[in-house]
């Protein structure tokens, strides 16, 4: 049985992070679009400067400008993807370090030095001197090979050399160092569904070759068309290119932020038991992706992840405009698995993992703007709940299904009586309370931060 508690919290964290990632991807797509719009203005300007008497004279200049479109589009996309990669790393690490107890991270670090002389599940339950000792080992450098199997008695003062903040920082920098330029470029240029984004962009330019478009302009002018008519001939080709380039940069941006998150999760090593797939559920979600939402895959299941999670590729997004993402499932910590009452608060009736409602509702209250809220639940669902509740700013509980931890389907929201809705909301609030109590219990094991700290941009 996986570690429900932290997996559930990480599911909520990756869920709210994805809302920010979608927003980032939209902004990246806008930036790429603006680059193309700027080039288009230069092209129409150049067309106006053509001499009607001899349009062939400046034909090369027009063709050069048209050739510059794919070139600048690629650079603009590259710039956005590189930024997304760094954002992806930073936010994923922030989520993990804010969610996982200090001793978990210390156990991950200890694995790097040498075999850990005891099971992770035991090590993480030790009191904080364990993290202090590992922090000391990190500080001393990796020149030493320290075998934790050998009985040792650390100097009693050693763990107390560092404050909790220092320990957290040492562990974070050691386990999740910022990606090198080479690592970033490897992620940025990795193919998805068998093709890289540069190949996708190149394919778009082949649909509208600059020479051919240049020929459209000059022959149009030669045939007596006006500047406006000539640019109107080009516009559909350019619009097509712009819309497709937008789609490529948006999807690729999500791929890159997910890939950086995945890399950070993989650093957890054998503490990582598997993954759960989530879809952003709104009116734009593909039925197939809605269907796979919530499915889990365990590393030791003997089935490839791709098959278990019904993915079309080894990574998500696995199709255009897909906003799906994965959250990590961690190996159990004995003190939670052994406490059925505690364990129960993180699963549904079928014993499936539910994203932490306390985490979601804290994000909703503290950090989500109206725009992000609409992004998170879908704009139609948001408006519907506004209408049903008469509340301009409805709470997270009004959208959420206590049985699954997911969003309430539109038809069920419509069918619900006011009484049913209120009872559902109370149930969710109660669940969140139970979890908060569980958090307090678990905090004695060195929990680094409370749920509201999981935000990505304050």
- Rounded-to-integer distance, Cα 292 and Cα 276, Å: 10
Laid out side by side, the sheet with 272-278 consists of: 296-298, 272-278, 325-330
Q: How far is the CB of 389 from Zn ion (least distance, A)?
A: 29
DSSP characters for 264-284? HHHTTGGGEEEEEEE---STT
Residue span binding Zn ion (CB under 5 A) among the ranges 281-289, 306-314, 336-344, 421-429: 281-289
- Rounded-to-integer distance, Cα 308 and Cα 295, Å: 8
By rule CB under 5 A, what string of x and - marks binding of each residue 360-399 to Zn ion? ----------------------------------------
Asked whether the beta carbons of 254 and 21 are under 8 A apart, the reply is: yes
- Rounded-to-integer distance, Cα 272 and Cα 45, Å: 57
CA angle, 154 then 157 then 160, to 5°: 110
Burial of 157 (0-12, 13-18, 19+ CB in 10 A): exposed
Q: How far is the CB of 315 from Zn ion (least distance, A)?
A: 12
Q: How far is the CB of 279 from Zn ion (least distance, A)?
A: 5
Q: How far is the CB of 281 from Zn ion (least distance, A)?
A: 10
Q: Which is nearer to Zn ion, 33 or 282 (CB)?
A: 282
Residue span binding Zn ion (CB under 5 A) among the ranges 128-136, 154-162, 217-225, 316-324: 316-324
Element (H, E) at 336: helix 334-337
Q: Is 322 in the site for Zn ion (CB under 5 A)?
A: yes
Burial of 55 (0-12, 13-18, 19+ CB in 10 A): buried
By rule CB under 5 A, what string of x and - marks binding of each residue 10-49 to Zn ion? ----------------------------------------
Q: How far is the CB of 318 from Zn ion (least distance, A)?
A: 7
Q: Is 324 in the site for Zn ion (CB under 5 A)?
A: yes
Total number of residues that touch Zn ion (CB under 5 A): 3
Q: Is 250 in the site for Zn ion (CB under 5 A)?
A: no
Q: Which is nearer to Zn ion, 322 or 353 (CB)?
A: 322
Q: Which is nearer to Zn ion, 69 or 277 (CB)?
A: 277
Residue span binding Zn ion (CB under 5 A) among the ranges 27-35, 39-47, 192-200, 288-296: 288-296
Element (H, E) at 307: helix 305-308
Count the neighbouring beta carbons within 10 Å of the beta carbon of residue 83. 18
Considering only residues 59, 265, 289, 381, which one is a binding residue for Zn ion as defined by CB under 5 A? Answer: 289
Residue span binding Zn ion (CB under 5 A) among the ranges 51-59, 287-295, 405-413, 427-435: 287-295
Residue span binding Zn ion (CB under 5 A) among the ranges 213-221, 315-323, 357-365, 437-445: 315-323
Q: Which is nearer to Zn ion, 323 or 381 (CB)?
A: 323
Q: Which is nearer to Zn ion, 306 or 421 (CB)?
A: 306
**Exposure b/e, 180-216, CB count within 10 A at least 16 = b:** eeeebeebbeeebeeeebbebbeebbeebebeebbeb
CB under 8 Å to 306, separation ≥6 — which residues?
Answer: 313, 314
Q: How far is the CB of 261 from Zn ion (least distance, A)?
A: 15
Q: Which is nearer to Zn ion, 233 or 312 (CB)?
A: 312
- Rounded-to-integer distance, Cα 388 and Cα 4, Å: 34
- Rounded-to-integer distance, Cα 373 and Cα 407, Å: 12
Asked whether the beta carbons of 71 and 137 are under 8 A apart, the reply is: no
Residue span binding Zn ion (CB under 5 A) among the ranges 175-183, 264-272, 284-292, 392-400: 284-292
Residues lying near Zn ion in the complex (CB under 5 A): 289, 322, 324
């Amino acid at each position: 049985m996986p570690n429900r508690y932290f997996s559930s919290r990480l599911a909520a964290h990756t869920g709210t992070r994805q809302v920010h990632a979608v927003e980032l991807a939209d902004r990246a797509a806008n930036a790429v679009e603006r680059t193309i719009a700027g080039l288009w203005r230069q092209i129409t300007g150049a067309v106006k400067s053509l001499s009607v008497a001899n349009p062939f004279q400046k034909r090369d200049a027009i063709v050069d400008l048209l050739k510059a479109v794919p070139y600048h589009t690629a650079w603009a996309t590259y710039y956005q993807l590189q930024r997304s990669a760094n954002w992806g790393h930073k936010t994923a690490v922030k989520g993990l370090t804010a969610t996982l107890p200090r001793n978990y991270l210390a156990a991950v670090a200890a694995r790097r030095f040498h075999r850990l002389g005891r099971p992770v599940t035991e090590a993480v339950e030790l009191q904080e001197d364990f993290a202090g000792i590992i922090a000391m080992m990190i500080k001393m450098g990796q020149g030493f090979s320290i075998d934790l199997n050998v009985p040792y008695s650390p100097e009693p003062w050693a763990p107390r050399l560092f404050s909790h903040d220092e320990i957290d920082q040492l562990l974070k920098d050691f386990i999740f160092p910022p990606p090198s330029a080479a690592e970033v470029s490897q992620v940025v240029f990795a193919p998805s569904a068998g093709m890289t984004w540069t190949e996708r962009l190149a394919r778009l330019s082949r649909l509208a070759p600059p020479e051919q478009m240049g020929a459209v302009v000059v022959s149009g002018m030669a045939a007596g068309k006006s500047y406006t008519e000539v640019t109107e001939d080009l516009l559909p080709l350019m619009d097509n290119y712009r819309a497709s380039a937008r789609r490529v940069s948006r999807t690729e941006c999500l791929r890159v932020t997910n890939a950086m998150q995945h890399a950070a999760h993989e650093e957890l090593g054998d503490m990582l038991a598997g993954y759960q797939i989530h879809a952003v559920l709104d009116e734009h979600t593909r039925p197939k992706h809605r269907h796979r939402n919530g499915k889990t895959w365990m590393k030791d299941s003997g089935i490839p992840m791709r098959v278990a999670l019904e993915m079309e590729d080894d990574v998500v997004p696995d199709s255009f405009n897909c906003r799906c993402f994965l959250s990590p499932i961690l190996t159990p910590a004995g003190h939670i698995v052994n406490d059925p009452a505690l364990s129960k608060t993180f699963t549904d009736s079928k014993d499936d993992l539910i994203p932490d409602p306390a985490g979601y509702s804290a994000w909703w209250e503290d950090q989500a703007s109206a725009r992000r809220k609409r992004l998170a639940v879908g704009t139609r669902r948001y408006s519907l709940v506004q209408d049903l509740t008469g509340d301009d700013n409805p709470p997270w509980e009004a959208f959420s299904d206590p049985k699954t931890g997911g969003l309430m389907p539109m038809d069920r929201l419509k069918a619900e009586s006011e009484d049913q809705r209120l009872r559902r909301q109370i149930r969710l609030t109660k669940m969140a309370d139970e979890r908060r109590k569980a958090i307090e219990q678990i905090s004695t094991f060195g929990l680094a931060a409370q749920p509201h700290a999981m935000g990505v941009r304050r």
